[in-house]
């Protein structure tokens, strides 16, 4: 134990024989560690906040539907004859953060032409409370909760069929009883999704009007869409299907996973570059002390003792730097929690268009506790790996090594 204590003192003394060099190495490792922790927290929170903003606008966290509503192989296809009722959902607590929707593939006919779209009937009051869809209406107004036969069109759709605020458009489709569904609806608002494809394919009306159009009972609907963004765990509902957004929007889910994985790749590269830089500096430091090592060998110090002392130097320096870096990373993360980052800083002032919708999220960075032990382990691993070569060179160059 006394031998180890002496080695610690000896290693500590050696670190400050060249204070400027030691400080530079400490700063590079601590700032690198702090940046990595902040960057991982930012990537995780950024993905979550962007998706939260996107899903809150319209898509939701998950959909509750008839087990045969969505095609198992392709969730873009659905069977509009499969409906559900509230009485089939045993967990009534799900109703608080979810809303009913009726979907209807129809043709909408304006003055200029007729186009196929997906008309969705909304519980207007709950949609205004749970979603941000109403904000996308930039011309006219959102649906009146107490109104009937009102319709909101995407801007591009309205342009293509030449429909304006106050115009009536004809809705034609097939009702659930097999009859021809047809209705005249008044255009009250235009949606602006940033010019995405959804502006040509979506329209919204009150759920009551959609039910009348589709000849549905007043308690029937196709989807119950959940907007509980804090709980990603899916409920288990016997006899019904619960479909998460990752299945409904696989292309966006893949993009998010790619960004998260790429962040870890960048992290590995940063740690490797920092470790290689430190390895080169340590090698120079060790070679400058070659005569000292030879003198220690002459007076009886074994090569293993010298090697352990060098490892302790690096371990002590790495520990101080990593702890300091973790503190720095946490301080910056906490600051960005109370002062969220506008994502437009990284897009040249332009909003993001995702899934055909425009989003402008503020990223509030949350600390992820697992990063505070994964990053130090990663740094120690690379730091230890890059120490191997300098130590081997020192041992080989020591002429009196025993």
Q: How do residues 278-322 score in pLDDT, each as one tens digit?
A: 777 766 666 666 666 656 555 655 666 666 777 777 787 778 888
User: 191: which DSSP letter?
Assistant: E
In this structure, the answer to whether residues 22 and 117 fall within a common structural domain is no
Which is more confidently placed, 141 or 8?
A: 141
What global pTM score does this model have? 0.73
Domain boundary among 167, 194, 228: 228
354 pLDDT tier (thresholds 50, 70, 90)? low
400 pLDDT tier (thresholds 50, 70, 90)? very low
Q: What is the largest CA-CA distance in the chain?
A: 102
Q: Which of 366, 362, 372, 360 is nearest to 337 (CA)?
A: 366
Share of the chain above pLDDT 70, in %: 79
Check residue 103 and give its pLDDT.
93
Check residue 196 and give its pLDDT.
64
4-17: average pLDDT: 63
Domain boundary among 213, 228, 243: 228
Which is more confidently placed, 384 or 143?
A: 143
User: 208: which DSSP letter?
Assistant: H
Least confident range from 9-18, 33-42, 271-280: namely 9-18
Count CB neighbours of 123 within 10 A. 21
In this structure, the answer to whether residues 6 and 43 fall within a common structural domain is yes
CA separation for the pair 391, 397 (Å, rounded): 10
320 inside domain = yes
Task: Kindly state the helix (H) or strand (E) to which residue 358 belongs, with its residue range.
Answer: strand 357-359
194 inside domain = yes
Task: Kindly state the helix (H) or strand (E) to which residue 243 belongs, with its residue range.
Answer: strand 240-244
What is the number of domains present in the chain?
2
In this structure, the answer to whether residues 34 and 71 fall within a common structural domain is no
192 inside domain = yes
237 inside domain = no
pLDDT 10s digits, 90-108: 888 999 999 999 998 999 9
| Residue 144 near residue 124 (C-beta atoms within 8 A) | yes
CA separation for the pair 194, 299 (Å, rounded): 77
Range of the domain at 164: 62-228
246 inside domain = no
In this structure, the answer to whether residues 222 and 133 fall within a common structural domain is yes
Check residue 65 and give its pLDDT.
93
Domain boundary among 228, 243, 277: 228
166 pLDDT tier (thresholds 50, 70, 90)? very high
- In degrees, rounded to 5, the angle at the alpha carbon of residue 176 between the alpha carbons of residues 174 and 182 is 35
Least confident range from 56-60, 151-155, 249-253: namely 249-253
Q: Which of 3, 1, 24, 9 is nearest to 285 (CA)?
A: 24
In this structure, the answer to whether residues 66 and 106 fall within a common structural domain is yes
User: 152: which DSSP letter?
Assistant: E
402 pLDDT tier (thresholds 50, 70, 90)? very low
Distance of CA 208 to the CA centre of its chain: 35
In this structure, the answer to whether residues 293 and 352 fall within a common structural domain is yes
DSSP notation for 304-344: HHHHHHHHHHHHHHHHHHHHHHHHHHHHHHHHHHHSPEEGG
In this structure, the answer to whether residues 71 and 207 fall within a common structural domain is yes
The token pair that represents 286 in the structure block: 């060790």
Check residue 63 and give its pLDDT.
94
In this structure, the answer to whether residues 299 and 346 fall within a common structural domain is yes
Check residue 327 and give its pLDDT.
92
In this structure, the answer to whether residues 213 and 285 fall within a common structural domain is no
214-234: average pLDDT: 89
| Residue 342 near residue 41 (C-beta atoms within 8 A) | no
Count CB neighbours of 72 within 10 A. 10
* pLDDT over 50 at 338, yes or no: yes
135 inside domain = yes
In this structure, the answer to whether residues 76 and 177 fall within a common structural domain is yes
In this structure, the answer to whether residues 190 and 293 fall within a common structural domain is no
Which parts of 71-147 are beta strand (E)?
Answer: 98-109, 114-122, 137-140
402 inside domain = no
CA separation for the pair 258, 244 (Å, rounded): 18
247 inside domain = no
130 pLDDT tier (thresholds 50, 70, 90)? very high
Check residue 123 and give its pLDDT.
94
The token pair that represents 165 in the structure block: 């605020």
- Rounded alpha-carbon distances, angstroms, from residue 279 to 25, 29, 117, 283, 333: 10, 12, 62, 6, 29
In this structure, the answer to whether residues 144 and 289 fall within a common structural domain is no
């Amino acid at each position: 134990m006394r031998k180890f204590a002496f080695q610690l003192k000896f290693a500590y003394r050696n670190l400050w024989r060249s204070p400027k060099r030691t400080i530079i190495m400490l700063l590079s490792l601590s700032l690198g560690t702090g940046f990595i922790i902040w960057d991982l927290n930012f990537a995780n929170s950024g993905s979550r906040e962007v998706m939260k903003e996107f899903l809150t606008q319209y898509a939701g966290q998950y959909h509750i539907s008839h087990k045969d509503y969505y095609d198992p192989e392709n969730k873009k296809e659905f069977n509009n004859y499969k409906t559900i009722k509230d009485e089939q959902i045993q967990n009534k607590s799900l109703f608080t953060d979810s809303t009913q929707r009726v979907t209807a593939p129809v043709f909408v006919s304006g003055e200029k032409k007729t186009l196929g779209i997906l008309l969705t009937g909304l519980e207007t009051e709950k949609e205004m409370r749970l979603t941000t869809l109403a904000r996308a209406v930039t011309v006219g107004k959102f649906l009146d909760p107490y109104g009937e036969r009102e319709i909101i069109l995407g801007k591009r759709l309205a342009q293509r069929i030449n429909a304006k605020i106050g115009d009536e458009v004809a809705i034609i489709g097939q009702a659930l009883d097999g009859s021809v569904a047809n209705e005249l609806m008044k255009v009250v608002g235009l949606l602006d999704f940033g010019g995405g494809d959804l502006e040509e394919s979506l329209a919204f009306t009150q759920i009551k009007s959609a039910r009348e159009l589709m000849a549905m009972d007043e308690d029937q609907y196709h989807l119950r869409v959940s907007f509980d963004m804090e709980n990603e765990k899916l409920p288990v509902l016997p006899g019904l299907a619960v479909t998460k957004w990752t299945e409904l929007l696989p292309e966006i889910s893949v993009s998010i996973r790619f960004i998260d994985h790429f962040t870890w790749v960048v992290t590995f590269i940063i740690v490797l570059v920092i470790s290689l830089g430190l390895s080169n500096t340590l090698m120079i430091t060790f070679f400058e002390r070659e005569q000292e090592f030879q003198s220690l060998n002459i007076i009886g110090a074994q090569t293993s003792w010298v090697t352990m002392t060098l490892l302790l130097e690096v371990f002590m320096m790495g520990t101080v730097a990593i702890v300091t870096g973790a503190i720095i990373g946490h301080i910056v993360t906490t600051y960005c929690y109370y002062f969220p980052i506008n994502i437009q800083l990284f897009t040249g002032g332009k909003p993001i268009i995702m899934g055909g919708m425009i989003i402008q999220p503020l990223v509030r960075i949350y600390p992820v506790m697992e990063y505070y032990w994964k990053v130090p382990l990663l740094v120690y691993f690379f730091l230890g790996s890059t120490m191997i070569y300098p130590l081997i060179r020192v041992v080989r160059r020591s002429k009196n090594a025993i």
